[in-house]
Structure 1
Amino acid sequence: IVFIRSGRKDYLFYSLYVLCLWIYLSGTSLRLYELWGGFNKFHRWFTGIIQVVINLCYVAFVSYYLETKKYYPLLNKAIKIVIIALTGIVVLCGMAYLTEIYQIHLYALDFQRLFMTVFAVCGMGYLLIYGKNKLSYFIVFGSLFYLTGALACLFLFELNYMIVGGVFEIIIFAFGLTYKFRQEQKEKTKLRREAYANKIKALRAQMNPHFMFNSLNSIQYLVAKNENEKANSYLTKFSRLMRSVLESTFDEKVLLVDEIKSIEAYLTLEGLRFDNSFEYEVTVDDSVDKFSVEIPLLIVQPFIENAIAHGLIKKEGKDKLVSIVFKSEENLLICVIEDNGIGRTAAKQKKPVGLSMKKSRGIDLVYNRLKMMFPDFNENEFIAIEDLQDQNNEPVGTKATIKFPMS
């Protein structure tokens, strides 16, 4: 079943090996020989041939299980020679059966037993010395049990020894396959995590330049208006902010208290840029411990940028406010960014001050970061943006809500 689902050949040859070994060891007790009319020449020939087939399946299983082509080139060459030799013996025994020269059949089987015994002993010794991982031990100990049982059967003429050895070998190989499967799953999980980490780093690498570009664009805007003192003050605060951001650039998350400091620094910069024409407030609910809760770096800044540039700046009057609230709800950290600006519909009709009308990439980057950082979380609940209206259905601002698992 596993082979059908995964196409893995080590499972295929393990299954064939177990099947052929079962047929060989159980043929007499289950009276399988009656299928071809009792103990006749075909039965004797088949009993000999299936031993060769068992060994063929065994070496093929070892080859794919240990991935000898990749990890054990010398053993892989030896296995190829064994497969060629065993295939030749099958052909030779077939010719002996057709020509009724049974002596050739017996000589071929005796050679096969000696040949496989030497190969098994040398192979086990090689794996004990040069084994690259624990997989080799499953092959060594499983083969040792079967080889001991087979030799005991050969010299003591008691099939039960081979049966016991075969059962132990099958069990050990089964444990070996399970162990390999689990190790591969662990490796896949590790690689997926590394891939997520690399993607997140790449997205953050895009977000930092995005943040820097907007800030430098603001400085350019102030210089263009000949407001050099403001530009100088802005540049000083910007450099301090960037220093704190760069110090955390290798961290996937930062403490909420540190992120709030960055948010307040950014809002101060935007206030300088726009003549302190708006107010802001940052609130942390009592249910959230800002000194222990962590948050992805720069996850809120793009929404604040949109609230100011698209909502507040084009609003008439002085009543301009953007509020940022952090709260928790059922193991989720929720950040709500709300402004009392002109709303998204009106904002689309007016070019934001100092900014282009291109769609903000910052929010897209935030969404992609959250999706990769929390792959098990419902991605449709990460970000929600709502247009606020009064009783007369007139726009009175915008509310953005960000949700993600709290850590």
Structure 2
Amino acid sequence: MSFIASAFKALCLSLLFVVAASRLTMRPKVFNVRRHGSKPDGKTDNANAFTSVWKRACTRISGSSKIYVPKGTFYLGGVEFVGPCKNPIEFVIDGTLLAPANPRDIKLDTWINFRYINNLSISGSGTLDGQGKHSWPLNDCHKNTNCPKLAMTMGFAFVNNSRIKDITSLNSKMGHFNFFSVHHFNITGITITAPGDSPNTDGIKMGSCSNIHISNTHIGTGDDCIAILSGTTNLDISNVECGPGHGISVGSLGKNKDEKDVKDLTVRDTVFNGTSDGIRIKTWESSASKILVSNFVYENIQMIDVGKPINIDQKYCPHPPCEHEQKGESHVQIQDIKLKNIYGTSKNKVAVNLQCSKSFPCKNVELIDINLKHNGLEDGPSTAVCENINGSIRGKMVPQHCLD
């Protein structure tokens, strides 16, 4: 009997050893950038050291890898992290990554760029400091053909099944986060900050993407809080605070050939505070491409002193005179749009602006429980403008609707 008990005890101990060993092997291999030559002094360029760490982590065959940036200020010139990798990569940033103040010192379109990677996780309490203040006066390409190319802060191209969480992006030179051909990506808990008068500092910009989830995020910047471009589908946005900025914008669309449809967008439980626009769809006149914008739901949206709370503009032209003017109507078809429980205050009397294309009128636009009161300098209540639109209304309607 004692022999059986001893054997059972030995078996249990061996099983515990196997479990403990397996847990050890499951832990990621940690690559602390300081232990691989990086200096948190705010002036030494750590780009080569970071790239070297990435290569080691990316090519590791067994188990996952974790790149750790501890507290401190790590100056970085332009850097690219390229896959495919042999294993999942966790990139934890608790320190500050500092961009060059001089935009010409970044030789890339994007300061920190991730390409061709699956299963990437970026998180931490750290900050991406783009040092954009010196670059914003140079952002005049609409009138100066010799303007310098300004870099986005962080970009993702051909990145799938990944996420970014809790990071802060501060004072980008151009946009903060850029996504191209990214699929199944979660963005949560991040903070994006730049002055309201900083030009083209879009918070999150995406094109040709699908299945993106953005939640619990604060975006205050000088351009679109979120810009949704050609070919983006299945986008879910919730619990976002936007302001200052230009709102959540679809477009501009239709200017270039070979653009793709934009469809299946949900924006819910979101607050716009002091933005120039809230809900915004913008397309160029005389479009170079015929595309479809469809199946959008905007629900439970609060507007606080927003310039244009609801704005469909199919005559978009930011810097007149425009080459598209006098050349016809937009060829972008907008249809199946639901706006439900949109409430708050409008700085302009026109709180609901629905100016659609004469050639391709908007179809099936639903307005349900809209309550937008005028809170600007002009006298009188809020109003609505409708052009070339077919739709329906239900529930409370302030301003008085103008749908046929």
Structure with max Cα Rg? 1
TM score, norm. by length of structure 1: 0.21
Structure with greater contact order relative to length (CA < 8 Å, sep ≥ 6): 1
